[in-house]
Structure 1
Amino acid sequence: MTGIPDFWLRRGLAAYLLWPLALLFRAVVGLRRLGFQSGLFRSQRLPVPVIVVGNIFVGGTGKTPLVLWLAETLRARGRRPGIVTRGYGGSASSWPQAVTAQSDPAQVGDEPVLLARRSSCPVMAGPDRVGSGLALIEHHGCDCLISDDGLQHYALQRDLEIVVIDGKRGLGNGFLMPAGPLREPPARLRSVNLLLSNGGPSAWTAHHFSLRLDSARQLVDGGTGRALTDFAGQEVHAVSGIGNPQRFFDALRTSGIKVIPHAFPDHHPFRSADLEFADGHPVLMTEKDAVKCEPFAKAHYWVVPARTELSTSTRQTLEACLEHCLSSR
């Protein structure tokens, strides 16, 4: 699957046929959360502030670039942040795994390697986020933690919850899985500290940010860079194995690029055959995909980094939330 089912974005026959299963899923989700709130399931508070960045929508909403922005902002404040992440797609036999810029994405997952390279922060991957957080504190002296995509991991208590939604897709048809794209009911958004919309203001929140693509870098040996507008008017193969490939394709088109789209499933384990196009056109890809394509990179492969841009009011609100989170501990 290279995206989400169409019926997850609008209510139709398929969604209503699956609605009874969505009710069952909702009951399980509610009982699980109640179990953590009541103390039936163990939830641990770590000795440093924990910031969770997550969503209730399955698939990509732009969390990872926001995590990188938070890490950069915290480092600029003189803090020593560490990043906790699931390591989805990694095949390591033991967890947690310390992730560096040189780690193998096949072992630890693609997003952890991207986070390690871009954040200059220690990164720990594994399903046990409490264990990963304790390892970052013990071995790296981290004085605050960012949990990437950790909203539903209630075993780790948090001081600040930030939820990201897609400004275009919103909450889809509003149903929980499998009738819709939601992991938790929409009412869950009322309990978070800050709700951000990726792509502009939305019906759910006025706080928003956007992901800006303005340059490309040759994948071979981290080669020379080019302005994205240099590709304007050209046909390029755009390769994307992220949660919402269409966002990447649309962003390239805003620079006047003639995009030939190639959408792959999220976390796709790329092989050289996936990028063998006969016409020799440039191949542009996301950073998340690039970490898996480096072993077979060619001169016409280009990686396009995404940069987070926040509105002035959103930046002020987010910085105020960070200040309260850090000072309260």
Structure 2
Amino acid sequence: MEKRGPQTPGWWYDDAPVPLAARVVAPLYGAVSGLRRWLYQRGWLRRRQVPVPVIVVGNITAGGTGKTPLTIELVTRLREAGWKPGVASRGYGRDDAGTARWITPDMEPALGGDEPVLIAWKTGVPVRVDRDRVAAAKALLEAGCDVVVCDDGLQHYRLARDIEIEVVDAARRYGNGRMMPAGPLRESAARARDCDFRVVNLGQASDAPEPAVASGFGEWAMRLRIDTAHPLNGGRDQPLQAFAGQRVHAVAGIANPQRFFQMLRARGIGVVPHAFADHHRYQAGDLSFGSELPVLMTEKDAVKCQRFANRWHYAVPLQAELPAAFWVALLDRLGKLARG
């Protein structure tokens, strides 16, 4: 039986009627959100700056849009260009959330948060979790970083930023265009126009030509490529194509699990889906499906399943792919900041 986590309200992304209570609360949410931003713009709430460039990767909608794969690829590109990046994150869902800490690749996700642990594991750069992102940025600076990348935090205005990258799901966009809880928006759609870059997550990578995504705004297409399956209990990586024509248990505890399932199906894999809540804390029993079919899961889930993995369990790495021109534009902007 498929295990399901809390579902996104149906009215966010379809034509279902919005409940009256949600419609009543939404204007209040929007007013508070807008007032807070206005106070920072006016200087009545003070932004804090650090003496290195700050890049924020975020979204104005609730839920996942592909921020973490982009953050990992961004950090990799920065290192290749000679920068010393560090990542600041709140570490959503971790225990003792009020405690700031450094994240190591082998840390329990319950302490560090699944996404920060994944970023540390994939990149090897300093990762700091702290509710106070200003304090996190200062800690990264003291650790020798010369650029701070914030995983999420577009709405954390207290930390001044130099470059904002908005990430949008190509299929969902802004849903019904309403503020939470009537819709998925954390801020008004107009807020997105102030971001320096908009990255549109098109999902599964393919050899087909990139569709046009620009709509009067500088948009950049991002594809997510999956090519291999990594055994969690050791051994050689397997080409994902080796699972084509087979049935597998597919596990995803992310904001949009259907995207992962669809990516596997596009590779000719027979998916038995198991969707869990975003940031779900796995126990061994969660992966007991009564059959010895291979179990394919996202890397975000895999970092939480290492301790009880067996030979049937595989992580499927996601790699974000963007046009070369995007990286040229971003690094050029960053270089100008450093020279300025």
TM over 0.5: yes
Alpha-carbon distance between aligned partners in 2 of 1:297 and 1:20, rounded to the nearest angstrom: 46
Matched with 2:227 is 214
The one-letter code matched in structure 2 to 1:164 is: V
Q: Which moved more, 1:16-25 or 1:152-161?
A: 16-25
The one of 81, 102, 127 equivalent to 1:77 is 81
2:329 corresponds to which of 287, 296, 317: 317
* CA 1:16–1:191: 2 relative to 1, 3 Å: farther
Q: 1:26 deviation in Å?
A: 0.4
Q: Determine the C-alpha separation between the residues in 2 that align with 1:208 and 1:58.
A: 20
Q: C-alpha offsets along residues 186-238 of structure 1, whole Å, 9 cap, x if unaligned?
A: 000111111110016446554111111110010013x2100101000100010
Task: Determine if contact 1:160/1:325 at 8 Å carries over to the other structure.
Answer: no
Report the counterpart of residue 149 of structure 1 in structure 2. 152
Contact residue 52 and residue 158 of structure 1 kept, 8 A? yes
Other structure's SS at 1:13 match:
coil
Superposition pairs of residues 74-223 of structure 1, within 5 angstroms: 74-92=78-96, 94-138=98-142, 140-199=143-202, 201-202=212-213, 204=215, 206-221=219-234, 223=235
Q: CA deviation at 1:119?
A: 1.2
Change (3 A) 1:203 1:25: farther
2-structure distance, mates of 1:124, 1:77: 22
Distance 1:201 1:243 in 2: 26
**1:16 Cα deviation after fit:** 6.0
Contact 2:214 2:220 in 1 (8 A): no
State how far apart, in whole Å, the 1-side matches of 2:156 and 2:137 are: 13
**What do you get for the CA RMSD once the two structures are aligned?**
1.6
1:57 aligns with 2:61: yes
**Deviation larger for 24-33 or 7-16:** 7-16
Q: Distance in 1 between matches of 2:70 and 2:249?
A: 26
Distance 2:90 2:63 in 1: 14
Structure 2: distance between partners of 1:203 and 1:15: 33
The residue that corresponds to 1:34 in the other structure is: 38
Q: 32-41 vs 65-74, which deviates more?
A: 32-41
CA contact (8 A) 2:91 2:97 kept: no
Compute the displacement of 1:244 (Å).
0.9
Structure 2 residue identity aligned to 1:171? Y
- For 2:126 and 2:299, locate their aligned partners in 1 and report how far apart those are by CA, in whole Å: 19
Question: How many angstroms does 1:42 deviate by?
Answer: 2.7
Partner residue, 1:253: 265
TM-score, structure 1 length as denominator?
0.95
Structure 1 residue runs of 4 or more that deviate by more than 6 Å after TM superposition: none
Change (3 A) 1:298 1:322: same
Distance in 2 (CA, whole Å) between partners of 1:92 and 1:219 is 27
1:27-83 Cα offsets, whole Å, 9 max, x none, are 000111112222222320011110000001111100111111111111112111110
Question: Structure 2 unaligned runs (5+)?
Answer: 203-210
Q: Distance in 1 between matches of 2:99 and 2:140?
A: 13
Count how many residue pairs are aligned between Structure 1 and Structure 2: 326
> Which letter maps to 2:228?
S
